[in-house]
Amino acid sequence: MVRRLAFIPIILFTMVLGAAAAERFVDVGAGVKIRCLDSGEGEQTPMLFIPGWRMAAEVWMPQIARFAKERRVVVIDPRSQGLSSITPDGNTPEQRARDVDAVARALALDHFVLVGWSQGSQDVAAYVEQFGVGHLKGIVLVDSPVSSGRSCCPRASTWTTRASTRPVCSRRFSRNQFRKPTSTSGSSAPCTRRSTPAWPC
């Protein structure tokens, strides 16, 4: 019963859009097919929506209802989500960005606005990194920050360095914390812990 109820939003979504929505499956290679819902028409700039992790295209229902009145709107189920192919391979922003490019080319989308929510924002950033903005009129990032990598943010670079040397630093930390303090000969002064090394180690 629970599984059947889970499909009710999809059924209602299809009924709301009616014949105006076309469900398509785009083959992006390696046996993976991406489900797309293609609706709307008009002179306004077309839009392509990417949902967040574990979400299906239907999460964008309110936006589709609003924007499909005046433009073409395409929403996708990213790989391993919704009704797209489930695969253990390529579940990364980089590969998902290539899937987006394949979908855009297959559906003849050009000069469109690319919208990503949460994990979808990372896919948008990966798309721009790989393909540039030549085919885009704009991007929208919903509820997620992105960066251009380690070089843009010294703190991120330092964090990455720390993470990569964590086993070594942990051992040094433990040795320094539990090493027998050096006592002062003939003094009653309290012993103090040795200071831990500063990050990065």
Q: Note down pLDDT in tens along the chain; length 201 residues.
A: 444 444 444 544 444 554 467 999 999 999 999 999 999 999 999 999 999 999 999 999 999 999 999 999 999 999 999 999 999 999 999 999 999 999 999 999 999 999 999 999 999 999 999 999 999 999 999 998 776 555 554 444 444 455 455 556 555 655 554 555 544 455 444 444 444 444 343
Residue 51 DSSP symbol: -
Residue 196 lies in a domain: no
Around Cβ 85, how many Cβ atoms within 10 Å? 17
Q: What is the CATH number of the domain that holds 9?
A: 3.40.50.1820
The domain in which residue 38 lies consists of 2-148
At 153, which helix (H) or strand (E)? Answer: none
Domain tally, the chain: 1
Q: How many residues does the chain have?
A: 201
Residue 6 lies in a domain: yes
Q: Locate 90 and state its tokens.
A: 């390529």
Residue 177 lies in a domain: no
The reply to whether omega before 46 is within 30° of 0 (cis) is no
- What pLDDT does residue 145 have? 78
Residue 107 lies in a domain: yes
CA dihedral (111, 113, 118, 124) in degrees, to 10, reads: 20
